[in-house]
Amino acid sequence: DAKTTQPPSMDCAEGRAANLPCNHSTISGNEYVYWYRQIHSQGPQYIIHGLKNNETNEMASLIITEDRKSSTLILPHATLRDTAVYYCIVRVLYSGGSNYKLTFGKGTLLTVNP
């Protein structure tokens, strides 16, 4: 799976949009971008995923650049409960053996301040 690079930490004011960047310059054409977050010692929570088009759900938006070498996760109105480590993970779409493990990198610690 392609490696990803994320800033180690970011701050955001409550009520403002949080924009979390991720670089995945070696991504292959059959690899998806997934975002998870982990609130202190809880299980990682799935947020959103995409291939090449921008995606939006009730939690967030995912913007993927045209060359797919980077992406941005957007939390439109951050709350204190959004404070967590955010992981950007690139995973192959189909490998034939159902080995779809997630490889977690260091992630970004997002701190939402009142």
Partner 1 sequence: AAGVIQSPRHLIKEKRETATLKCYPIPRHDTVYWYQQGPGQDPQFLISFYEKMQSDKGSIPDRFSAQQFSDYHSELNMSSLELGDSALYFCASSKGREPFNQPQHFGDGTRLSIL
Which residues of the shown chain bind partner 1 in the complex (CB under 8 A)? Answer: 32, 34, 38, 41-46, 49, 51, 87, 93-94, 97-107
| Contact residues for 89 (Cβ-Cβ < 8 A; gap 6+) | 1, 4, 33, 34, 35, 36, 102, 103, 104, 105
Residue type, 7: P
Kindly state the tokens that stand for 50. 């995409």
Report the helix count and the strand count for the chain, using DSSP H and E.
Answer: 0, 9
Nearer to partner 1, 3 or 77 (CB): 3
**For residue 45, what are the β-bridge partners?**
37
